[in-house]
Amino acid sequence: MTDKTPYQTINCSLYDQLLLWSTKQTVCDVILKESSENESKVLRGVITDVFTKDKVEYMTLDINAIIRLDHIKEINNMLFAGECKL
């Protein structure tokens, strides 16, 4: 949780989907954005928590991973694009 780049809020419906997967204890395939467009990091696990710390949103997986939500490219074939407009 040391990334100092400005946080980009995720689309609100995607946030709701994270909460649904967490509640249902769905195994998720999480593809993270990487610095190289040809490389992707893939994690597999159950979402155990979705939380905010210092105005940045995160989720945890049962594999002991903490992921900043704006670093997610895709989960379970659902693209994570667009910001939440309030």
CATH code (residue 46): 2.30.30.100
25 inside domain:
yes
Q: Report pLDDT for 36.
A: 62
6 inside domain:
no
Task: Give the dihedral sign, CA 49/46/39/66.
Answer: positive
pLDDT in tens, 64-79: 999 999 999 999 999 8
H helices of the chain, in order, are 12-24
Per the structure, the count of domains in the chain is: 1
Using the predicted structure, report yes or no on whether residue 10 has a pLDDT greater than 80.
yes
Q: Report pLDDT for 84.
A: 58
Closest Cα to residue 62, out of 26, 33, 32, 34?
26
pLDDT in tens, 16-61: 999 999 999 999 999 998 766 667 789 999 999 999 999 999 999 9
73 inside domain:
yes
59 inside domain:
yes
* Longest alpha-carbon distance in the chain: 33
Name the pLDDT band for 3 (thresholds 50, 70, 90). confident
Range of the domain at 27: 12-78
**pTM of the prediction?**
0.84
